[in-house]
Amino acid sequence: GPLWTIPWNLTQTNYCEWEGIICAGEDENNITSSHSSTYHDPYAVVAIDLSFNNIEGILPSSLCLLDSLELLDLSFNNISGTLPSCFGDSLLNLTNLRLYSTSITGSLPPSWSKLKNLKFIDLAYNFLSGPFDFELLVCNWTNLQRLYLGVNDISGTVHDCVCTLAELQFFSIMDS
């Protein structure tokens, strides 16, 4: 958009060359990526980092079409609305989700329990509310290393399974 801090040249038809977008065939420096061997399509979007970019609006469900997506960082933008439930059905390769300090509301959809490759999730400083089902969600994220849920209005009991997550290094629910 016109207010973005990282403007896109939309006349460029190859979206893999847009700022903040990384495709399977290249990394940030346009060098052949390690993702190339994982995905058959070199134009498969594997990372979107549009943090600190003055983006406004909701998380579009069309993000769910990016089934190769591993990293999504929209932190420090004015993203409103709820978290799309289709993430749990479609973004099964997602390892890193950063929506820190956006303006997301609602709760985490139960379908997100299918995101078993998640290693890092940061949903702190939002307007998430209601019961948080640690057993259903966090206990299924067996690769989880870092979880940030602080400064939201979620409720619920931290399930014992959190202590059994072998990869977990950091867990924050302060002021939630």
- At 138-163, the pLDDT tens digits run 889 999 999 999 999 998 888 788 87
- pLDDT tens digits, one per residue of 38-86: 656 888 999 999 999 999 999 999 999 999 999 999 999 999 999 999 9
Contacts of 47 (CB under 8 A, 6+ apart): 21, 22, 69, 70, 71, 72
Asked if residues 115 and 89 have their Cβ atoms less than 8 Å apart, the reply is no
Q: The pTM is what?
A: 0.86
Structure tokens at 24: 């399977």
Quote the percentage of the chain above a pLDDT of 70.
84
pLDDT reported for residue 36: 43
Conformational region of residue 47, where left means phi above 0, alpha means psi within -120 to 50, and beta covers everything else: beta
Please state, in angstroms and rounded to a whole number, the distance separating the CA atoms of residues 137 and 149.
Answer: 13
Please state, in angstroms and rounded to a whole number, the distance separating the CA atoms of residues 39 and 104.
Answer: 31
pLDDT confidence band for 32 (50 / 70 / 90) = very low
pLDDT confidence band for 108 (50 / 70 / 90) = very high
- pLDDT tens digits, one per residue of 74-98: 999 999 999 999 999 999 999 999 9
- Provide the CA 155 distance to its chain's centre, in angstroms: 21
Please state, in angstroms and rounded to a whole number, the distance separating the CA atoms of residues 161 and 168.
Answer: 11
Asked if residues 47 and 70 have their Cβ atoms less than 8 Å apart, the reply is yes
Q: Across the chain, what does the average pLDDT equal?
A: 86
Please state, in angstroms and rounded to a whole number, the distance separating the CA atoms of residues 155 and 94.
Answer: 25
Secondary structure (3-state) at 133: coil
Please state, in angstroms and rounded to a whole number, the distance separating the CA atoms of residues 10 and 18.
Answer: 8
Euclidean distance between the first and final Cα of the chain, in Å?
33
Phi and psi at residue 17, to the nearest 5°: -100, 0
